[in-house]
Chains A and B, each alone.
Chain A
């Protein structure tokens, strides 16, 4: 049973526009949600997190929104840059349970 679901395997966005990556979860016991970014041949790097008691967390160009009633979270990247092209994983804790990832391509 997949506890964390990322239903879009890939997403293409124009440079400068908004990227929205979505994630759904089934485990109501998660108390934190985290987003990771992964480039090929590298380990994932932590991007941003949100506590289950909050509905929004912002860090520079990255904002994560949490809708607990819908068991849904989303990562917004504004403005998108070519260097943002990577695979993005959503995860709930603990220990971290990851979704399958969404490959973001930002086109110049």
Chain B
């Protein structure tokens, strides 16, 4: 089975800090995605990448950036954390045939910005 690992389950950061959220996959898949989940708002796409060094903005990229230097690792960066970025962050990969089989998600990182 494909494994998607997010480095932290819970994180507390201060306003203004630079925050790195890491996502690592173990199966050499090209497509990786970052979403955030908020109550009443569902899952919203922040950024995605279809290959190394490639990135595309999703629906809510403001305040975020990403890095994909190696195929297996896709990092989400909060340049200057703010309280409205308190959320559950979910990394996902698109496996072969993901159009109909769906994405595989990591367990999520719950980030609290104080």
Contacts and interface: CB of A to CB of B under 8 A. Distances in A.
A96 B100 CA distance: 11
B43 A46 contact: no
Binding site of A, secondary structure by majority: helix, strand, loop or mixed? loop
A46 B103 contact: yes
Interface stretch (B60-68, B73-81, B104-112): B104-112
Contacts of A49: 100-102
Contacts, number: 63
Counting contact residues on chain A (CB < 8 A from B), the size range is 20 to 34
Interface in A44-70: 44-46, 49, 51
Interface string A79-108: 000000000010101111111110000000
A96 B42 contact: no
B21 interface: no
Contacts of B110: 41
Nearest to A50: B100
Contacts of B44: 98
Interface residues of B, number: 29
Interface of A: 6, 9, 31-32, 34, 36, 41-46, 49, 51, 89, 91, 93-101
Contacts of A43: 4, 90, 92, 105-108
Contacts of A41: 9, 107-108, 110
B40 A97 contact: no
B42 A100 contact: yes
Contact of B100 (A32, A42, A95): A32
B85 to A, nearest CB: 19
6 contacts: A42-B108, A43-B92, A44-B90, A89-B43, A96-B102, A98-B43
A52 B9 CA distance: 36
B31 to A, nearest CB: 8
